[in-house]
Structure 1
């Protein structure tokens, strides 16, 4: 019966591909080229989710996803992480798939995989969150789970989270907090989704972000900058416009671009657009931007009490401040 059960999981867990269409979501449609990029991101994510939901072994996803274009393969592994987290959470056996995936085929895509776990949490009742995120044990990277949660909410509940700008409030995961900072990382995910909501149009994205309370702008611009670098869908002129519109938050756009560069380089998925975006946002190559993220990994807890993840982000933003021309 294992085969039919896996097939049932695949049908139940995987949304219809029409859910990723720009027209279905009601997102801004900049034109055919940008629409194709954003919709292929969605279909690639679903390919990974479907593969994981129906997998006999976690290594099956490598074969299933091998033929996807380089530009979109990372999104598929993000979807696979969501799938394994859902299967682990909703089956009565001891959860093991997510941990095995993160240690195996998901390891090169570790940043995207942690984000994918956040997607699973967004689809589950709160009492199941601890089980869904059990494999997210890295104290630095686990904040990316909340980035994924925020992206999911803004992508599927756009009116509430983006148009009506649902107020930021302390977030109840991870249980030990800090809850106020957790809400900020959710905003980073909302910002990343806003790039999709805007159809990768930098003016539309900036207008949406600027309508939020000013205290949320830094995290929202950072999230959108990560999406602009990792997913793309725009020209050099548009990237420069977005950097200009981010104003005082430009160092955190650069920081997010460096995160995207690191994720791409670690997975061996660097494409021309990533080089273009890091050159515009960071003034350097993907390899150099990724090196900066490694160099500035925090070695010890911050005296300020800030989570190490935020210390890391601030250090990277400070490194690129001179490039973006923003004063202290």
Structure 2
């Protein structure tokens, strides 16, 4: 009897939902609050891993899409992210099929941002070079692949990336910054979304990297499983200080992700209300308006120019932007 491809690949590409809390405990030790938080995180991690394996066994759209759409709406975007992982791996092993592009231009299009992040999550485990893979992706969304890459490395290679603060040597320019956006997002999970641990960890990084790391925290805070109350998010936003505009950019990006998933979430609204003073739907509308351009050619990647415009709009409408230096830091590091 022929074994499913996912079964054959599991020993070669080991990934399980149980590995997430183990990695967090390895870093911070056993913490009572983290154990409780992981009960909330567990459905997210399990959906990501299960959909990854599901995609390996059912790569055809006719079989895969109904399985992904059967996932409960709150987690369906995560399921499509896992599909991005699986299809990217299959394309690496069987390059003639080109499953990922077909999915992105077909049933995966409504979740294209999350599918790109999923592709980045599996990228460190693939045999081909990052640069070659990125060159084949959409010029605007390819940076989300680096975000996924940064999340993977920030979580699973945390000693090098977080403790020693060493990003991959082969990433340069904006690629390194997009990597940091994902690495920042990984801190949400590896710290158990503990405000004190997040702030203390970010404080160890040099100032030129903090805007992108804070942006990643903003994405996770607004998109991932809701574990913070209003006061905790407010403390986090206050601690961001001059990078609060970057935190705002992250929450805006997350509002777009949540909109694409087709399922509003109370914690996305909560994060947007604390940081922007309004709900997720209005923040997503701001993000869409910011993407209308036109953007000057060659100034920076269009993705970064979009993010700068989101930050500009947050500064224009938020009294908390007084003294915000995140935009200046960003301009210098483009």
TM-score normalised to the size of structure 2? 0.87
Larger mean Cα displacement after TM superposition, 206-215 or 27-36: 27-36
Question: Within the alignment, does 1:250 sit opposite 2:253 as a pair?
Answer: no
Report what 1:21 is aligned to.
21
Aligned residue for 1:64, secondary structure, equals helix
Shift of 1:302: 2.3
Change (3 A) 1:104 1:26: farther
Shift of 1:59: 4.0
What is the distance in 2 between the residues matched to 1:233 and 1:167? 28
What is the distance in 2 between the residues matched to 1:277 and 1:156? 27
Q: Deviations over 1:288-307 (max 9, x none)?
A: 11111111115334266111
Report what 1:283 is aligned to.
277
Aligned residue for 1:17, secondary structure, equals coil
What is the distance in 1 between the residues matched to 2:191 and 2:319? 23
What is the distance in 1 between the residues matched to 2:36 and 2:244? 26
What is the distance in 1 between the residues matched to 2:267 and 2:107? 25
Q: Deviations over 1:137-193 (max 9, x none)?
A: x2111111100110000110111111221157561xxxxxxx311101101111000
Q: Does the CA contact (< 8 Å) of 1:9 and 1:54 recur in 2? A: no
What is the distance in 1 between the residues matched to 2:170 and 2:8? 36
Aligned residue for 1:113, secondary structure, equals helix
Question: Within the alignment, does 1:113 sit opposite 2:115 as a pair?
Answer: yes
Q: Deviations over 1:117-147 (max 9, x none)?
A: 11121112343763x55762x2111111100
Shift of 1:18: 2.0
What is the distance in 1 between the residues matched to 2:130 and 2:239? 40
Shift of 1:220: 0.4
Report what 2:264 is aligned to.
270
Of 61, 72, 75, 1:72 maps to 75
Q: Does the CA contact (< 8 Å) of 2:92 and 2:128 recur in 1? A: no
Report what 1:212 is aligned to.
205
Aligned residue pairs, count? 318
Q: Deviations over 1:4-31 (max 9, x none)?
A: 4454246644523321224665355424
Report what 2:312 is aligned to.
318
Larger mean Cα displacement after TM superposition, 6-15 or 46-55: 6-15
Report what 1:306 is aligned to.
300
Larger mean Cα displacement after TM superposition, 266-275 or 8-17: 8-17
Aligned residue for 1:119, secondary structure, equals helix
Question: Aligned Cα RMSD in Å?
Answer: 2.4
Report what 2:185 is aligned to.
192
Change (3 A) 1:139 1:298: farther
Shift of 1:37: 2.1
Shift of 1:210: 1.0
Report what 2:164 is aligned to.
164
Report what 2:151 is aligned to.
151
Question: Within the alignment, does 1:35 sit opposite 2:29 as a pair?
Answer: no
Shift of 1:109: 1.4
Larger mean Cα displacement after TM superposition, 291-300 or 189-198: 291-300
Q: Does the CA contact (< 8 Å) of 2:47 and 2:79 recur in 1? A: yes
Aligned residue for 1:320, secondary structure, equals helix
Shift of 1:105: 2.9
Consecutive unaligned residues of structure 1, counting only runs of 5 or more, are 172-178
Consecutive unaligned residues of structure 2, counting only runs of 5 or more, are 325-334
Shift of 1:195: 1.1
Q: Deviations over 1:28-62 (max 9, x none)?
A: 54244421122222111101101111114134333
Change (3 A) 1:245 1:76: same
